[in-house]
A = this chain, B = another copy of it.
Amino acid sequence: MARKAAIIGGGVIGGGWAARFLLNGWDVAVFDPDPEAPRKVGEVLANARAALPALSDGPMPAEGRLVFAGTITEAVEGAEYIQESVSERLDLKHRVFAQIQQVANTTPIGSSTSGFKPSELQQNAANPAVIFVAHPFNPVYLLPLAEVVPSPASDPGLIERVKETLREIGMFPLHVRKEIDAHIADRFLEAVWREALWLVKDGVATTEEIDEAIRMGFGLRWGQMGLFETYRVAGGEAGMKHFMAQFGPCLQWPWTKLTDVPEFTDELVDLIAGQSDAQSGAYTIRELERIRDQNLIGFLRVLKERNWGAGKVLLDHDARRRAAAFAPVVGEGPMVTARMTVLPGWIDYNGHMTESRYLFAASETSDAFLRHIGADIAYVGTGFSYYTAETHIMHAGEAKLGDALTGTVQVLAADEKRLHIFIRILRDGAPVATLEQMLLHVDMGKGKTCAAPQAILDRLLPIAQAHATLPRPEAAGRHVGQRTT
């Protein structure tokens, strides 16, 4: 049975939490007295469905069931995890916790609060030990960060279990060891926000100029390394001490002396709203959300390819999902070696899978086969490899976004040097493309074909022998433009 999470407060943040749980296979009950909540959560969920699966390289679990509960009691019943994302009013949060703990006083309750400390949240609670901060970042369904802040009254074992729950839904729980106003990230955001408001108010820069100053420069650095690692690199071989010696003192110059926030007069609000309209008004908020999500997917996939930063979180999450690891299936028919999902980056302007991605899918399929017979990356490291000499592709259908594809290999012929295979890229058991390939075993140093070693042949030749009894595919041996018989 699916696990259940309760989401109290169904705005953009609560909706983002709901989406993360649902798309990771949890059932979710949302409570929010706002009659607009189902629409709002629905919009976030639609965005999340279009975005989160694009980060995964394995099939997604079946989506959980979403219900809107009429009461807090109904929402939290049977929930294994409760997340509170109501407005930033301490009295309101206290009332929500009290209602929850009337019926569920041992269930973990995370709060999305930006500013309150866990000890403040815990005041007067029936069971303060289970209340903590779990502060996410919008869009919650894409950004991995959740600041997890316990107080001294928190149950350390529960906090560890909560971190594990957050990892299970693909997040990066950052354990903040000392509670402090605004945790960590929002302290930076506040400091920057304050500087930015003064720059706009004093006419030094517009909202657009400030955004350019961030996203054309240090924003790109921070998305992958953060502050200290960036400065460590800037310090050069001499290291962080050198950087501090060189740049530390000059950062003491009084460039920014202000801690006041400018008063939110109508003039200032109008000035900023007007500049923001001039900057971004050409897009609706929905359009901006989609642009933002596509950009973030791109960044996150770049980092995933490099196993770096937030990309490491994605790879770890894939690995968790692959717990029931997928191994090539050796059976009666062609060997199933790959399962893939058509990702947004594979789609062309027609909405179909880009032509070259069929060959990509085939490469995933044949690479898995080669790994199976022992010609894996380690083997390539010894200076030998199978190279593709020739390929024939037949298109039989069109794969579309989100399609689940299976790749199979049938060995048509194999000897010491040659490996003649037939690949099927299947959707619902029917081919969308078939590929016939001739691979040659190559001594990469000499740039010449050579015999594969016995260890590989011992794995390959029995498969070839077994496949010899399979019906020969009609498309094998075809040349381009040949009449269909």
User: How many copies of this chain does the complex contain?
Assistant: 2
Contact yes or no, A233 B288, CB < 8 A: yes
| A123: Cβ under 8 A from any B Cβ | no
CA distance A354 to B294 in the complex (A): 25
How far, in whole Å, are A388 and B481 apart by their CA atoms in the complex?
11
Query: With an 8 A cutoff between CB atoms, is A474 at the interface?
Result: no
Contact A303 B308 (CB under 8 A): no
Q: Are B248 and A227 in contact, with the CB atoms below 8 A?
A: no
Among the listed stretches A104-112, A275-283, A316-324, A329-337, which one makes contact with chain B, having 4 or more residues with CB under 8 Å of it? A275-283
Name the segment of A24-32, A49-57, A238-246, A456-464 touching the other chain: A238-246
Given the known interface contacts A207-B228, A244-B269, the answer about A480 and B436 at a Cβ–Cβ threshold of 8 Å is yes
In the complex, the answer to whether B251 meets A218 with C-beta atoms within 8 Å is no
Q: Does chain B have a CB within 8 A of A180?
A: yes
Most B CB within 10 A of own CB, among A207, A222, A269, A313: A222
Query: Which one of A73-81, A157-165, A254-262, A399-407 contacts B?
Result: A254-262
Query: Do A184 and B205 touch (CB < 8 A)?
Result: yes
- CA–CA, A360 and B232, complex, Å: 39
Q: With a CB–CB cut-off of 8 A, which chain B residues contact A229? A: 207, 211, 276, 279-280, 288
User: Is A219's CB under 8 angstroms from B214's CB?
Assistant: no
| Contact in complex: A204, B225 (CB < 8 Å) | no
Nearest CB of B to A285, in Å = 5
Shortest CB-to-CB span from A6 to chain B, Å, is: 24
Of the candidate stretches A64-72, A125-133, A141-149, the one touching chain B is A141-149
- Contacting pair A145 B305 (CB below 8 A): no
Stretch binding the partner chain, chosen from A91-99, A192-200, A424-432: A192-200
- A174, A299, A356, A480: most-surrounded residue (chain B CB, <10 A): A480
List of B residues within 8 angstroms of A275 by Cβ? 228
Contact (A350, B380) CB under 8 Å given A209-B174, A221-B143: yes
Closest to A114 in B: B250
The CA-CA distance from A223 to B199 in the complex, in Å, is 20
Against B, the Cβ 8 Å flags (1 = close, 0 = not) of A268-297 are: 010011011101100011101101101110
**How many residues on chain A are close to B (CB under 8 Å)?**
152
With A255-B115, A269-B248, A436-B480 as known contacts, state yes or no: A224 contacts B295, CB within 8 Å: yes
**Which residues A27-68 have CB closer than 8 A to chain B?**
none
Are A172 and B204 in touch, CB under 8 angstroms? no
Q: How far is the CB of A217 from chain B (nearest CB, A)?
A: 4
- Whether B188 contacts A195 by the Cβ 8 Å rule is yes
Given contacts A224-B292, A292-B225, A390-B395, contact A216 B143 (CB under 8 A): yes
* Pair B224/A215 contact, Cβ less than 8 Å: yes
- Whether B205 contacts A215 by the Cβ 8 Å rule is no
Once the chains bind, are A294 and B276 in contact (CB under 8 Å)?
no
> A253 touches which one: B181, B230, B420 (CB < 8 A)?
B181
Write the nearest CB–CB distance from A319 to chain B, whole angstroms.
Answer: 18
Q: Are B479 and A392 in contact (CB under 8 A)?
A: yes
Hey, which chain B residues are within 8 Å of A349, CB to CB? 377, 380
A178 within 8 Å of B (CB atoms): yes
Known contacts A205-B184, A390-B480, A211 near B223 by CB under 8 Å: no
CA distance A115 to B193 in the complex (A): 20
- Which residue of chain B is the closest to A200 with respect to CB atoms? B228
Hey, which chain B residues are within 8 Å of A181, CB to CB? 253-256
Query: Is A138 an interface residue, CB under 8 A from the partner?
Result: yes
Residues of B within 8 A of A236 (CB): 12, 285
One of B235, B272, B479 near A244 (C-beta < 8 A)? B272
A212-B145, A220-B299, A298-B303 as given contacts; A251 in contact with B479, CB under 8 Å:
no
Q: Which residues of B contact A267 (CB under 8 A)?
A: none
User: Can you name 26 A-B residue pairings with CB atoms under 8 Å?
Assistant: A12-B236, A137-B221, A143-B221, A147-B213, A177-B203, A182-B255, A188-B218, A190-B251, A192-B227, A194-B251, A216-B310, A219-B222, A220-B299, A220-B310, A221-B292, A224-B295, A230-B292, A235-B285, A241-B273, A245-B269, A295-B303, A298-B302, A298-B303, A356-B363, A390-B395, A437-B480
Excluding A349-B377, A356-B360, A358-B359, 14 further A-B contacts by CB distance (< 8 Å) are: A88-B250, A143-B221, A180-B199, A188-B196, A211-B229, A239-B273, A239-B276, A240-B273, A244-B264, A295-B308, A356-B356, A391-B393, A420-B481, A438-B481
